[in-house]
Amino acid sequence: MGVRFEIDYKEIEALERNIKLIPGKAEQAINEVLHVEGVRIATEQITNLLPVSKRHKNHSKNSNWAKSRTGNLEFTVLTKGGAASNKGSYGYLVFPDEGRGRSNPTAHHFMQRGLDAATPIIVEKMSEKLTQIIQEVL
């Protein structure tokens, strides 16, 4: 289970002018922001929305539950582990997120909602980074 952040044209329109000013450096700068700050911000926003089960003393919300994969102009935030029954796995997060099981009839979609909350912050960080590079070049 995970959510994937990708830059699409709608989100990048505001950055387009700055990208055109530094075409050879923009992609690298955006990747730097996404792979470090973007992953951190998205994980924090998702963590804020994690439901806390009354049955788990050590809950994922209070631990290092996420891992990430990065690619060109993208990252994916995933839960650590695999099957919910595996020790140290946070795979059980799929149940409340997707509304699976008898005790989880309502999907919470905290992964997507957290990413949605993180997106404007991440886009602002990309804009700041591009502006910084433009100022250094000029």
103-138 confidence digits (pLDDT tens): 666 777 888 899 999 999 999 999 999 999 999 987
C-alpha to C-alpha distance for 90 and 79, rounded to whole angstroms: 6
Q: Domain count of the chain?
A: 1
Q: Which residues of the chain, if any, have pLDDT below 70?
A: 1, 7-11, 53-62, 81-105
**pLDDT value at position 104?**
65
**pLDDT value at position 6?**
73
C-alpha to C-alpha distance for 40 and 53, rounded to whole angstroms: 24
Task: State the virtual CA torsion across 81, 36, 50, 11 in degrees, nearest 10.
Answer: -120
Cβ atoms of 59 and 44 closer than 8 Å: no
pTM equals 0.80
Residue 67 pairs in a beta bridge with 78
**pLDDT value at position 4?**
80
Residues of the domain holding 59: 2-137
**pLDDT value at position 15?**
82
